[in-house]
Amino acid sequence: MSEIVDADSESIQVKQDLASVSQTSKIPYPCLITVDKDMCVPRLPSYLLQKQSKDRPVKIMTFEDMADQNLSKYGLVGSPTAVEKMFAPPEVEKQVYFDGDAKEKTKQLFDVLVNKKVI
């Protein structure tokens, strides 16, 4: 995912940059979304904010701090992911140049077509 296009209480609409195309998808909640590494580049805090917060304690929350103490709603048990379909990205087309005379080029082309099971 490279961009959040729209979000409401029912679903989220995202832009996906796939191998050769861009696609916009509307996904109902609950859903799991993975993002490109460049999606969210954090801003560095200003010097004054760094200075003000350097001695501020960091609050660490544990399961005991949660209002809902139902273990089935946390961790792997609480959020299992079911993979519907996996596929390899499409093979990128590439150009192949053959060297030699006509007979050698014909043999090389024939070998490529046999290896790709075209003939």
Residue ranges covered by each domain of the chain: 3-83+92-115
Whether 11 has a pLDDT exceeding 90, the answer reads yes
Residue 39 pLDDT: 72
Lowest model confidence (mean pLDDT) among 10-14, 46-50, 69-73: 69-73
Do residues 90 and 20 make contact, with C-beta atoms less than 8 angstroms apart?
yes
Percent of the chain past pLDDT 70, that is, above it, reads 97
Whether 78 has a pLDDT exceeding 80, the answer reads no
Classify burial at 13, counting beta carbons within 10 Å of its beta carbon; exposed 0-12, middle 13-18, buried 19 or more: middle
Read off φ and ψ for residue 26, nearest 5 degrees: -105, 120
Q: What is the pTM of this model?
A: 0.38
Give CA–CA dist 5/16, Å, rounded. Answer: 10
